[in-house]
Amino acid sequence: MSANASQVASTIAPLIGSLGAKYMLDPDTAAHAAEAGYPNGFAYYVAGRGGVLGDVDSDVVYSAFMFFEKTLIDKLWKAGVAVEGARAASKRYMQSCDTWGKKHLANIDQLELFISPAEKLVSKVDSSGLSLFAGLRAEPLPSDMAARAYRLVTLIRELRGCVHIAACVTHGLSGFEASLASSGEGITKLHGWAPPYPDVSHLVAVRDAAETSTNDAMARLITLHLTQAEMNQLAEQTIRVCSAAA
């Protein structure tokens, strides 16, 4: 395919978003958490994903997650870091991530075709304002090809997530409003926001504008750091890898 940066950004976004979340909800990850003494998978998720920020107050994690209710983050963060601390939680969570990648991407050939442009992109991005992305990027990439490819999927996912949070704030959306307008009541409840829920139909256009801003920002990063051939390769290989993941 030959596409411009905006088309590449919009093409890879849903694929990366879906595949990058797979390990978070996998029973193997929940088992990994239980073996290490975490009270539940949600506490492992919050401590593991947020642990890259270091030993911080829960409000810092809430600010970085945005789309989760504050008291829920506080409860899960405290329960999670009580097990082995923030940084140890993040390193263990990356082990769960890498294990998923080894299991589900191992049979995909020529993973280096995805790894090359993906790794170039995430290594070159200026991390200003992208706290969770910066924290995750600081964790060393695994040498195993399948694990490395999947880690890069999660890095691009976290990169776009951080950019999207900035876009939502710029457009005046709270985490609650953005969650309700984009994902509906089910996900909003899962994120800790209690009903009754207000009508947010008037915010759908605002949320769509934030999504457009997110895509525009990702397109700028892609243009800045990848050649035309590399961005085409990233799109093509993202489609291939995500469709082939078992």
Domain borders along the chain are 5-244
CA 35/CA 26 separation, integer angstroms: 15
Confidence class for position 223, pLDDT limits 50, 70, 90: very high
pLDDT in tens, 78-91: 999 999 999 999 99
CA 192/CA 3 separation, integer angstroms: 39
Number of CB atoms found within 10 A of residue 35's CB: 9
- Check if the beta carbon of residue 22 is closer than 8 Å to that of residue 104: yes
CA 112/CA 149 separation, integer angstroms: 8
Compute the average pLDDT of residues 99-104. 98
Compute the average pLDDT of residues 144-168. 98
Q: What is the pLDDT of residue 2?
A: 62
Angle made by CA atoms 40, 67, 178, in degrees to the nearest 5: 145
Is residue 246's pLDDT more than 80?
no
Confidence class for position 1, pLDDT limits 50, 70, 90: low
Compute the average pLDDT of residues 185-199. 95
- Torsion sign, CA atoms 60, 65, 68, 72: negative
